[in-house]
Amino acid sequence: MHREVIAIFDIGKTNKKFLLFDEDLKLVYQEEEKFVEITDEDGFPCDDIDKLEDWMQSCLEGIAQNEAFVIKALNFATYGATLMYLDNQGKRLTPVYNYLKPMPDDVMDGFYESYGGVEEFSRNTASPALGMLNSGLQILWLKRKKSDVFGKVKDILHLPQYVSYCFSGKVTSEYTSIGCHTALWDFDNNRYHPWLEAEGIILPQPVPNSTIFDVLIENHPVKTGIGIHDSSASLVPYFKGSGEEFILISTGTWCIFMNPFNKEPLTAGQLRRDSLCYMSIQQQQVKSSRLFLGHIHDVNVGRLSAYFGVVAGHYKTIKTTSEKIDRLLMSSKGRVFFRQGVPADYVDSSVDPAHFLTFADAYHQLMLDLVDLCMESLNLIIPTEDHAKTVYISGGFAGNELFVRLLAARLPGKKVYTSEIDNATALGAAMVVWEAAFGSEMPSIDLGLKPIIGNK
């Protein structure tokens, strides 16, 4: 007896995953690959798109030959800020240029000035000036630096839509990829920014993420989605599984604060402080800010560990209590670490570890100060009229009891939960095409919630 499934390709910068979800959205199969990067014609590292395409095809062939499964629907989630260029035969013209590739200064000569200056342009497009990380400006780079290639371009796709195109043959665009610091979208007027027309650049008009094409894959009809940007995909389970407005804090090397319910326009001041907007599958802005939390944590813990002579990872053994947290909060007279802000090397060498009796004492203070840095970033995405009473914390720091309890203590008016969802990005991509696959009412989603009761 075969099981009907949704197949998802979750394409990260490092890990490439192929996953199958059943009708109840339970993961029933997974495989993972890491590909060695190649280089583009300029010698800069980039993903090996040939190997990726071959692997995707191989994955689907393998499942087609596996009598345990039959694929009802297929979708794709990938990292953003990446474009593919097709010629008039629908063939790739370029490698997958890396968004970390440096942007030559002269590409942008006079550009921002034509649209109100860098600050106004960035505000209007919700896109801090980030060079190649603004994927739309990669098109400008190709036009000005590789005009012979650009002259052959017929269609331009973001990476999620390109990997979908590999199977459907359909050229599409959608809001989650366009809305992610691309410098392509005019958030004031909800359309492509006029600079594209001025430069003679034509992109497909965006369609909803629920758009489905009927595609024959290994001689079987499969409902095939158009792909989704991974950050927006990871929000989908919370839209479906939460009955109220919420803020999602996704923690790890970067801590990303996302508020899908903040309708206030992005300000120039917020942009200067590393805030921007994504777009959700509902085509609404998701105001977002970020902090290099995991990295700041690790380098400072490394310094404290060396001073106190404890092994790396000792901080994971630190136990806290309500009494310790109470004392810490009551005695705090402001930050000890990062009084002058976060230094360029992220290590606060102005703090003398001898100020603390033990590593545990130092670590408690460091975590309190990191939580206060988090609150500065979080406050950037909280609107004047804040109706979100629920905060979800996911990712690596959700397992750090001290971090989550201190953060909950700083949010006394909100319900704070840790949330453990395995493969949230792939699950979100599967949920987008679930109705096309199975048609009936979507099953309830287990967000893996655990309530955090502040410092009590």
pLDDT digits (tens, 9 = 90+) for 17-49: 999 999 999 999 999 999 999 999 999 999 999
Given a contact cutoff of 8 angstroms between Cβ atoms, the answer to whether 218 and 61 are in contact is yes
Question: Residue 451 has what pLDDT?
Answer: 95
Nearest to 40 by CA among 91, 87, 90, 83: 83
Question: In terms of CATH, what superfamily is 234-419?
Answer: ATPase, nucleotide binding domain (3.30.420.40)
pLDDT digits (tens, 9 = 90+) for 126-179: 998 989 999 999 999 999 999 999 999 999 999 999 999 999 999 999 999 998
Q: Where are the domains of the chain?
A: 3-228, 234-419
Question: Residue 265 has what pLDDT?
Answer: 87
Which regions of 109-161 does DSSP assign to beta strands (E)?
Answer: 155-158
pLDDT digits (tens, 9 = 90+) for 434-445: 999 998 789 998
Question: Residue 283 has what pLDDT?
Answer: 85
Which amino acid belongs to residue 382? I
pLDDT digits (tens, 9 = 90+) for 391-417: 999 988 999 999 999 999 999 999 999
Q: Give the DSSP per-residue string, 152-185.
A: T--EEEEHHHHHHHHHH------HHHHTTT-S-E
Question: CA neighbours within 13 Å on the CB side: how many for 253?
Answer: 0
For residue 455, pLDDT beyond 70: no
Mean pLDDT taken over the chain:
93
Which pair of structure tokens corresponds to residue 179? 């809305």
CATH class of the domain defined by 3-228? alpha beta
Given a contact cutoff of 8 angstroms between Cβ atoms, the answer to whether 6 and 437 are in contact is yes
The radius of gyration computed from the CA coordinates of the chain, to the nearest angstrom, equals 23
Please report which confidence band the pLDDT of residue 422 belongs to, taking 50, 70 and 90 as the band edges.
confident
Map residue 431 onto helix, strand or coil: helix
Tokens 């901080």 sit on residue: 315
Pairwise CA distance, residues 186 & 394, whole Å: 31
Its pTM stands at 0.88
For residue 70, pLDDT beyond 90: yes
Per CATH, 3-228 and 234-419 having the same topology is answered yes
Q: 105 Cβ partners below 8 Å, 6+ apart?
A: none
